[in-house]
Structure 1
């Protein structure tokens, strides 16, 4: 049974401007593993896409559960990839749910959608 659906759309240039100033947003949004993976990327544009995708996915999850960010921290959520390269998400306190995540980028935007299903 579907427990929640969330979506978030974000402009890449907002994230790019933030990263040009400092790494503060990345440190606030990403877990240590995610931050390490982002820092391993060679091209700045790829880093922007990486951070924006995870930010959007985490915002979409917060919308899907109906609380928004606040009761749930960005650090409680982690986006990684399965063996085929598809994104997957783990969230502390939601281990008994199946979380479907989709992230897509265009030249100017990133969109993420979350579907939460009770097991």
Structure 2
């Protein structure tokens, strides 16, 4: 399967204080990173980037929301800070601008 996916989210829609929602979106490793961030702004950008990235990944996989659990998809960062998915066939880019986060995923299989 090959695919592309893109998603954009308005960060103001996200509630970083609703821990049930945050844990629904983030994997356990991502949640650990989230809790160590030193500002609500950075937490919001992180959560929004992961949310958009996971939706873009599902679109690239040609599955709808609900076919995969958000917290089962993991997006981490390599040593240089670049995000990566735990799928060796997937490539991801995440960007933030003011109150938006956007992600693009390319899937090669």
TM-score by length of 1: 0.86
Determine if the alignment matches structure 1 residue 28 to structure 2 residue 24: yes
Partner of 1:19: 16
Q: Would you identify which runs of 4 or more consecutive aligned residues in structure 1 move more than 4 Å? A: none
What displacement does 1:73 show?
A: 1.1
What displacement does 1:75 show?
A: 2.1
Q: Considering only aligned residues, what root-mean-square deviation do their CA atoms show, in Å?
A: 1.3
What displacement does 1:78 show?
A: 0.3
CA distance in 1, matches of 2:19, 2:71: 15
Give unpaired runs (5+ residues) of structure 2.
none
Partner of 2:96: 105
TM-score by length of 2: 0.93
Task: Figure out how many residues of one structure are paired with residues of the other and give that number.
Answer: 109
Partner of 2:69: 73
Q: Larger Rg: 1 or 2? A: 1
CA distance in 1, matches of 2:33, 2:44: 12
Structure with the higher strand share, 1 or 2: 1
